[in-house]
Amino acid sequence: MSQLSAKSKTPTIRFKGFSGEWVEKRLDEITIYIKGFAFKSADYRSSGTRIVRVSDLTTNDLVESNESSTYIDNSKENQYYNYRIKDGDIVITTVGSKAEMRDSAVGRAIIFNEDKGFLLNQNLVKLSAKEKNNSRFIHVQLLREKYAKFIEDIQRGNANQANIAINDLWGYLVYCPNPKEQIQIGNFFQQLDRLIAQHQQKHDKLRCVKKALLTKMFPKQGETQPAIRFKGFSEAWEEKALGDICEPLKGKELSWSSIRENGKYECILYGHLYTEYGMVINKVKYFTDIDSKKIPKSNYGDILIPASDTTPTGIARASSIDKVGVLLGGDINILRPRDGYHGSYLSYNINKNRAKLIKLIKGTSVKHLGNSDLVNIDIYVTNDTTEQTKIGNLFQQLDTLINQHQSQLTKLNNIKQAMLANMFV
């Protein structure tokens, strides 16, 4: 790719070998469309040829077939051939919530990369590229902020039920290069989307693995053995109150105004626990210049639980900190493990038992959970420190892999947004 000086009708970033200005065209000059068919509910079946509905589309993709999916008998497929979604077709929602609502918003554009014989339902329109135009290049144009603002301008209705007219949609203006450049740009974004999808799939699978192991590597209520266990361990787990295995403490002082980018001391505020950190904290992201003796400092393995939030899920989460001397601000419940118990192991154990924490939360608009409640929560624990270490290490390795894929997803999505801004006029 080469950098070009800014011109009115040429992109900032361009593949080598291409030159000349792009040509402005209306959407109806480069695509043809078909509106979806109003299938009758009497024809719906539990299997057969799938009907794609507005509710089947997310911001980026088609929802996989599930119990709520709708089908018609395979014998009727040819009857509705014109409504078949083919490879390269772009499907746009013509009804939904307001455009700024995003995920369920009107005007969402999804491209189909294969022909599975799916049929287009009402309140959807499919666009097919006209000759000498590339559908993937056109689709990428519909992912830009420019398009989102255009949809906001042409939408009608209210926040719950907005709609767009096809005639208005046709008025969207795009700048187009020659067919070869369109193909190269379309292929570039297709490859980028594949990378994003691969990392997303791996990320989601690992999260599912972690969720399953949290269920199976800690005993169910009333049982003393987990469903899955490392070899060499057979001793029964014991039910104990958190107050018996941890010393309760409280964070103090510190406010957001005390945070300094180049501060001398690492610190954690209660709000950071449900916005910045996972179940184990290895790296602290914030600093302060305050070094008050009144503010508790972390011991290795301390378990931190927010004492207040506006949602129960914000409070009902534990993070163990694998660092010494970090300042711990107010509204943080600190559970300091007693001898024989590892913080990371207990953190994952407590998070597996989040339902028990949620039951103890008090308050209406602002939720509260104190140490006086936490210490009475019973959990099943193994007294074997080697088994605790193995379990803690396993989940930390899973978290590391999950975070790596999340980091790659963030980078790739940032690259995509930058290219959307600079590879088009």
Average pLDDT over the chain reads 91
CB proximity list for 299: less than 8 A, separation 6 or greater: 324, 336
Residue with tokens 């709000």: 271
**Same domain assignment for residues 214 and 322:** no
**Same domain assignment for residues 194 and 280:** no
Instruction: Give Cα separations from 421 to 14, 230, 245, 411 (angstroms).
Output: 12, 50, 54, 15
Is 294 a domain residue?
A: yes
CATH code assigned at 32: 3.90.220.20
Tell me the per-residue pLDDT of 247-306, one tens digit each, with 9 for 90 and over.
999 999 888 888 998 899 999 999 889 888 999 999 999 999 988 888 999 999 999 999
What's the whole-number mean pLDDT along residues 3-14? 70
Is 330 a domain residue?
A: yes
Query: Rounded distance, CA 250 to CA 286, Å?
Result: 19
The answer to pTM > 0.95 is no
Which band of pLDDT confidence, cut at 50, 70 and 90, is reported for residue 99?
Answer: low
**Same domain assignment for residues 333 and 422:** no
What's the whole-number mean pLDDT along residues 160-175? 92
Domain range for residue 346? 238-381
Is 138 a domain residue?
A: yes
**Same domain assignment for residues 184 and 172:** no
pLDDT at 74 over 70: yes
Tell me the per-residue pLDDT of 375-399, one tens digit each, with 9 for 90 and over.
999 999 999 999 999 999 999 999 9
pLDDT at 5 over 50: no
Is 14 a domain residue?
A: no
Identity (one letter) of the amino acid at 399?
D
CATH code assigned at 209: 1.10.287
Any idea which of 60-64, 66-70, 81-85 has the lowest mean pLDDT?
A: 60-64
3-state class of 129 per DSSP?
A: strand
What's the whole-number mean pLDDT along residues 119-141? 95
